[in-house]
């Protein structure tokens, strides 16, 4: 019994975790001389690059944070996870996985090469082509994907005023060429059915959602809690689907840097070009870090460093 208790004791009490979060936040400025904010979406280039926030949401719903954890930012590709969740809630497994794969792509998040070689079937739902495909699947099931996604995010995070940043969405539409190419290529292969401009508008709005670290950590707590949102006790996805989502996050969540992220951090994660990264510590907590300067893969540099520091500081060996 005593041994069992030791094995189940969380590695750090909340005071020690708070001290660690504050140390990571203070250390983050060491990364402020590296990388740059995403500028291929001009509206994102206007963000002050030297910011850092971190928040964790425990499976009992308690939140701890440090730094700029209440500053909202563009969640970008992190919304691809919530879009997939909406699809898993509404469609049969075959309907999804006959049209999108579950393998890491080993290519940049917006690459088009593989898509032609693989007949318009995206490698996974987290690269841009895969998220466009998921959006196309949702079009047939949901009248307003934008409203449904926004409601889902508000409910999961407990923040009733979460919404879209129209400026960011418009900026992406004005620079849509690459995503439009992905969508048209999939349409040519018969894998995308909706009007491409409508599809892009919905996809860009999903990417433009503004949230802060605390809200994002809360919105992912269900993935640490066997599919149940600790805020309202409701099941978001089943325990099996939770395991499947975490497996996809581990293998595909950081694109062509997924292997390096697993090597360094060892947690399922998802990044966005707004500088956010979420990570899941199953059974314990969800984590969100944010810092806008990105590496060449489109992932936050200070964010990844902080996650490495968190795992080391908590004495975790998750894999
Ligand atoms: O479509 C795009 O390129 C962006 N809205 C999202 C890309 C993104 O966040 C990739 N993540 N690291």
- Closest protein CA for atom 1 of ligand 1: 128
Mean pLDDT of the chain: 95
Query: What is the mean predicted confidence (pLDDT) over 25-43?
Result: 95
* Inside any domain, residue 220: yes
Share of the chain above pLDDT 90, in %: 94
* Inside any domain, residue 5: no
Going by pLDDT thresholds of 50, 70 and 90, the confidence category of residue 68 is very high
* Inside any domain, residue 3: no
Query: What is the mean predicted confidence (pLDDT) over 287-315?
Result: 97
Spatial contact of 125 and 103, defined as CB atoms under 8 Å apart: no
Q: For residues 173 and 25, give the distance between their C-alpha atoms in angstroms, rounded to a whole number.
A: 34
* Inside any domain, residue 318: no
Residues 6+ apart with CB under 8 A from 230: 57, 58, 59, 60, 61, 221, 222
273 is known to lie in a ligand binding site: yes
Q: Given 25, 74, 77, 111, which residue is catalytic?
A: 77
Is 109 touching ligand 1 by the criterion CB < 6 Å?
Answer: yes
- What strands lie across the sheet with 163-164, from one edge to the other? 73-74, 209-211, 163-164
What ipTM describes this predicted complex? 0.98
* Inside any domain, residue 199: yes
Question: Which pLDDT tens digit goes with each residue over 146-168?
Answer: 999 999 999 999 999 999 999 99
pLDDT score recorded for residue 13: 92
Whether 184 is catalytic? no
CA-wise closest residue to 291 among 54, 8, 14, 23: 54
* Inside any domain, residue 319: no
Whether 171 is catalytic? no
Query: What is the mean predicted confidence (pLDDT) over 246-261?
Result: 96
* Inside any domain, residue 1: no
Going by pLDDT thresholds of 50, 70 and 90, the confidence category of residue 108 is very high
Does the structure show a pLDDT above 70 at 184?
yes
Q: Give the domain range for residue 275.
A: 10-313
Query: What is the mean predicted confidence (pLDDT) over 251-267?
Result: 96
Going by pLDDT thresholds of 50, 70 and 90, the confidence category of residue 10 is low
CATH number at residue 135: 3.40.710.10
Q: For residues 312 and 308, give the distance between their C-alpha atoms in angstroms, rounded to a whole number.
A: 6
Report the domain count for the chain.
1
Whether 168 is catalytic? no
pLDDT score recorded for residue 317: 81
Is 77 touching ligand 1 by the criterion CB < 6 Å?
Answer: yes
Going by pLDDT thresholds of 50, 70 and 90, the confidence category of residue 117 is very high
Q: How far is the CA of 128 from the centre of ligand 1 (A)?
A: 7
Whether 80 is catalytic? yes
Query: What is the mean predicted confidence (pLDDT) over 66-88?
Result: 98
Q: How far is the CA of 183 from the centre of ligand 1 (A)?
A: 14
Is 279 touching ligand 1 by the criterion CB < 6 Å?
Answer: no
* Inside any domain, residue 93: yes
pTM confidence score: 0.95
CA-wise closest residue to 139 among 94, 93, 203, 185: 203
Of ligand 1's listed atoms, the one at least distance from the Cα of 172 is 5
Does the structure show a pLDDT above 60 at 262?
yes
Is 128 touching ligand 1 by the criterion CB < 6 Å?
Answer: yes
């Amino acid at each position: 019994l005593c041994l069992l208790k030791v094995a189940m004791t969380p590695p750090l009490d909340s005071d020690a975790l708070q001290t660690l979060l504050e140390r990571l936040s203070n250390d983050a400025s060491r990364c402020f001389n590296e990388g740059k904010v995403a500028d291929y979406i001009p509206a994102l280039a206007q963000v002050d690059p030297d910011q850092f926030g971190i928040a964790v949401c425990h499976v009992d719903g308690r939140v701890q944070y440090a730094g700029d954890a209440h500053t909202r930012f563009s969640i970008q590709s992190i919304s691809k996870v919530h879009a997939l969740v909406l699809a898993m809630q509404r469609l049969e497994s075959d309907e999804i996985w006959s049209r999108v794969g579950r393998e890491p792509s080993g290519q940049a998040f917006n690459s088009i090469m593989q898509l032609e070689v693989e007949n318009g079937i995206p490698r996974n739902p987290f690269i841009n082509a895969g998220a466009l495909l998921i959006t196309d699947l949702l079009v047939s099931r949901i009248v307003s994907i934008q409203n449904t996604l926004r409601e889902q995010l508000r409910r999961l995070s407990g923040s009733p005023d979460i919404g879209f940043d129209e400026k960011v969405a418009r900026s992406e539409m004005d620079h849509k060429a690459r995503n439009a190419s992905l969508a048209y290529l999939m349409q040519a292969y018969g894998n995308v059915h909706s009007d491409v401009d409508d599809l892009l508008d919905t996809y860009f709005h999903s990417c433009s959602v503004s949230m802060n670290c605390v809200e994002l950590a809360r919105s992912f707590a269900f993935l640490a809690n066997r599919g149940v949102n600790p805020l309202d006790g409701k099941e978001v996805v089943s325990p099996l689907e939770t395991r499947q989502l975490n497996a996809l996050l581990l293998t595909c969540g950081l694109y062509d840097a997924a292997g390096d992220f697993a090597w360094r951090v060892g947690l399922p994660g998802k990044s966005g070009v707004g500088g956010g990264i979420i990570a899941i510590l199953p059974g314990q907590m969800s984590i969100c870090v944010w810092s806008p300067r990105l590496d060449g893969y489109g992932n936050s540099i200070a964010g990844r460093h902080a996650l490495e520091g968190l795992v080391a500081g908590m004495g975790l060996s998750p894999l």
